[in-house]
């Protein structure tokens, strides 16, 4: 790893640096720190000390900016340590950011969103294309592209996915839905029903297929129905003009229109009834 080489080169230059003089690195890609893991690391440090020094760079005001070792620094603070072992590297803002990002990505313990954000920042700092960034990292361009696509999800969606403990494949499945509203609908069902990746893919397929179904054109149908109802109404008025007590009942819901006409049988001669059949 990049910083491992620096540590070997500076083994004889390890300093004891006051914790209060160490400033965080603004390019730190990690945003989630597991408290249980930090406590385990703190216990290890209590028993064996900090085995690998932190990497720092000196700032103009005499303080130090952290390049690598965020978890070790946090664990040391949990123990109440006032000083930590460190090496000081020569690096400007851009170089320090690149070193920090590379070290975190290469340690492979970032979550997939943190990794994607780190890779995106690296490409930006290097001013590289995706192809150039992938080549420099020894990564397939398709792999890099898939990871960077995760950043198309909003911060709100990423937080929901992270909090629910969903996987990168869950996140990539959600990207098949174009609208935020559709993704929210799917995400709520995935979390509520604890869907695995295969079940999530099937859910996304159903949502996409439903979206692609042609919409029913009901305008012409409704016009025909109105004509039919008007015809019935005219027939009823004709009967009423003949002195026949006709009763009608109509009922409409989402699925059908019901129209009932009741004509007393005893008011019409049999020959008239036959003419209406």
CA 262 vs CA 22, 239, 265, 267: distances in Å: 91, 11, 9, 12
Are the CB atoms for 96 and 57 separated by under 8 Å?
yes
Question: Of the listed 39, 70, 132, 159, which one is catalytic?
Answer: 70
User: Residue 96 and residue 101: Cα distance in Å, rounded?
Assistant: 9
Q: How far apart are the first and last CA of the chain?
A: 93
What are the start-end ranges of the H helices in the chain?
A: 2-9, 35-48, 70-78, 93-106, 112-126, 130-137, 141-149, 155-163, 168-174, 180-193, 197-212, 219-241, 270-276
User: Residue 102 and residue 121: Cα distance in Å, rounded?
Assistant: 10
Is there a catalytic annotation at residue 70? yes
Residue 219, token pair as written in the block? 């305008």
* Rounded to 5°, angle at Cα 119 from 117 and 121: 70
Residues serving a catalytic function are 70
């Amino acid at each position: 790893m990049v910083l491992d080489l620096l540590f070997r080169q500076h083994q004889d230059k390890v300093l004891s640096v006051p914790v209060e003089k160490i400033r965080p690195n603004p390019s730190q890609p990690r945003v989630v720190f597991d408290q249980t893991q930090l406590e385990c690391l703190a216990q290890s440090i209590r028993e064996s000390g900090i085995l690998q020094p932190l990497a720092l760079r000196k700032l103009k005001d005499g303080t130090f900016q952290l390049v690598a070792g965020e978890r070790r620094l946090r664990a040391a603070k949990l123990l109440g340590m006032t000083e930590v072992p460190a090496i000081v590297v020569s690096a400007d803002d851009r170089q320090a950011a690149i070193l920090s990002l590379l070290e975190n990505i290469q340690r492979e313990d970032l979550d997939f969103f943190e990794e994607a954000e780190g890779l995106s920042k690296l490409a930006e700092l290097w001013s590289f294309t995706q192809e150039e960034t992938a080549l420099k990292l020894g990564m397939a361009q398709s792999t890099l592209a898939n990871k960077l696509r995760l950043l198309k999800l909003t911060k709100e969606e990423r937080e929901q996915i992270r909090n629910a403990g969903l996987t990168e494949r869950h996140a990539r499945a959600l990207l098949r839905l174009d609208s935020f509203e559709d993704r929210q609908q799917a995400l709520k069902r995935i979390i509520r029903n604890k869907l695995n990746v295969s079940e999530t893919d099937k859910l996304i397929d159903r949502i996409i297929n439903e979206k692609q179904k042609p919409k029913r054109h009901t305008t012409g149908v409704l016009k025909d129905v109105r004509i039919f109802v008007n015809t019935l109404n005219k027939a009823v008025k004709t009967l009423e003009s003949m002195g026949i007590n006709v009763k009608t009942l109509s009922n409409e819901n989402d699925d059908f229109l019901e129209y009932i006409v009741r004509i007393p049988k005893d008011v019409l001669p049999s020959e008239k009834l036959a003419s209406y059949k």
